[in-house]
A and B are shown apart, each in its own frame.
Chain A
Amino acid sequence: MIDVEHLSKSFGSHLVLDDISEHIEQGEKVVIIGPSGSGKSTFLRCMNLLETPTKGKIIFEGTVVNDKKTDINAVRRQMGMVFQHFNLFPNMTIRKNITLAPVQTKLMGQEEADETAMKLLDRVGLKDRAESYPSQLSGGQKQRIAIVRALAMKPKVMLFDEPTSALDPEMVGEVLDVMKELANEGMTMVVVTHEMGFAREVGSRVLFMDGGHILEQNEPHAFFANPKEQRTIDFLSKVL
């Protein structure tokens, strides 16, 4: 579904991603872990071109995402993204936050979008907050809304950039629950996270990144049970 070929990204003279190649299958739940500054967020953000790769190719279902001729907006409509800081639109109600993109991109009419929004909100238990503003919600609620907002576009893959890192500890669970449910429904997911429990339980594959490389990867149980690289062992000993 997503092919990454020899991807490099540098900010000025600082090389953040160093010649990464990776393939993500439909239905996979790829969890990316690693120390901060390892390039994991940048890697994720390259997939929907929020960061422009310096070298290499990102191919999404046969389309070269970082080709100048590609309609990047059309690609992004099929790739949902959830951010660390939610990035809800504070000037709109929750309902409007969710329906804006489907309506503006002519994916749905306002009525259909409203219906979809209510259905999705019901699923995450926030139906009664449709007419609230983001500032009236807790962090966990905001992030669940942000997930719903991305889902309203009916994406084929969901990218999560540290979705629980900005949350109070007691709110992490409610967001992870929504993500687990999404995973069970078969959504293809790429998740950058520090939640090792989530990686173990939900991930179909864990990638460990350090210094702009994917240092090691494995099926989660094997990955956590016997990591091979010394760097991975060091990292896991600190976070587990």
Chain B
Amino acid sequence: MEMLLDLLDKLYQAFLYQDRWRLYLDGLGVTVSITLGAICISTVLGMVLCLMKLSRYKILRWPAQAYIDIIRGIPVVVQLLIMYNVVLLNVTDNKMVVAIVAFGLNSSAYMAEIYRSGINAVDPGQMEAGRSLGLTKTQTMWHIIFPQAIKNCLPTYTSEFIVLVKETAVVGYIALTDLTKVYSAIQSKTYDAFGPLLIIAVAYFCITKVLSIIFARMERRLRTSDRR
């Protein structure tokens, strides 16, 4: 009983006292904004990289492969710091922009591979059928391959989205106050770690759970043509 009261008090201190929940809300806003901004970049740039990698021209394939290799070979925190302290140092002071660009560019490399595996998973007979009817490669890609590839990609795309939400937790390194960083602000006032950490953990879980529910629903909708 006493433990429960103690816990409730800690949560009260961590969340409700002095309207501290506003801090979490602000942090959540930062986390969500960075994630959404980055996913927009990576969804598009990933597609560009994927098409480059599938191109018949070496001059397009090679840079895409190099980009993917380099991005995947360096920790995202290091990339974030490089972006903040070197690449964008004299371009912008807006840390939010820096974070979105850094995570967007990082995630693009993974997206490119997700798309590529989705496209490769489509039966080669589909391309042959399209081409044998006199459609161009682009027409076949657009009308036949992509719609099927999207279906293949969706589960791994969802995973990448969720990973991205969690990865943004390192933006504290460039002094952005995201959901994770709220912990320091609260803990320095209450001297309690458990309360804020529990709240933050639950918040992350809720975001990712909602995401996975939305995408699972989308997957089911796209699968209608297979099921009927």
Contact = CB atoms under 8 A, between A and B. Distances in A.
Interface of A: 48, 50, 73-74, 76-81, 83, 85, 87-92, 100-101, 104-105, 132-133, 135-136, 149-150, 153
B125 A73 contact: no
Given A73-B135, A100-B143, A133 B125 contact: no
Interface of B: 123, 125-126, 128-136, 139, 143-144, 147-148, 151, 225-228
Contacts of B139: 104
Chain B interface main SS type? helix
Given A87-B126, A90-B148, A91-B144, A150 B133 contact: yes
A73 B136 contact: yes
B134 A76 contact: yes
Contact of A91 (B125, B132, B147): B147
B228 to A, nearest CB: 6
A89 B133 CA distance: 12
A90 B119 CA distance: 15
Chain A interface main SS type? loop
Contacts, number: 76
B228 A136 contact: yes
B128 A87 contact: yes
Nearest to A82: B132
Contact of B225 (A73, A83, A91): A91
A88 B226 CA distance: 13
Nearest to B148: A91
19 contacts: A48-B132, A76-B134, A81-B132, A87-B128, A87-B129, A88-B129, A89-B129, A91-B144, A100-B133, A101-B130, A101-B133, A104-B135, A132-B228, A133-B225, A133-B228, A135-B227, A149-B133, A153-B133, A153-B134
Given A85-B125, A87-B125, A136-B228, A105 B132 contact: no
A132 B226 CA distance: 11
Contacts of A153: 133-134
A74 B128 CA distance: 15
Nearest to B226: A135
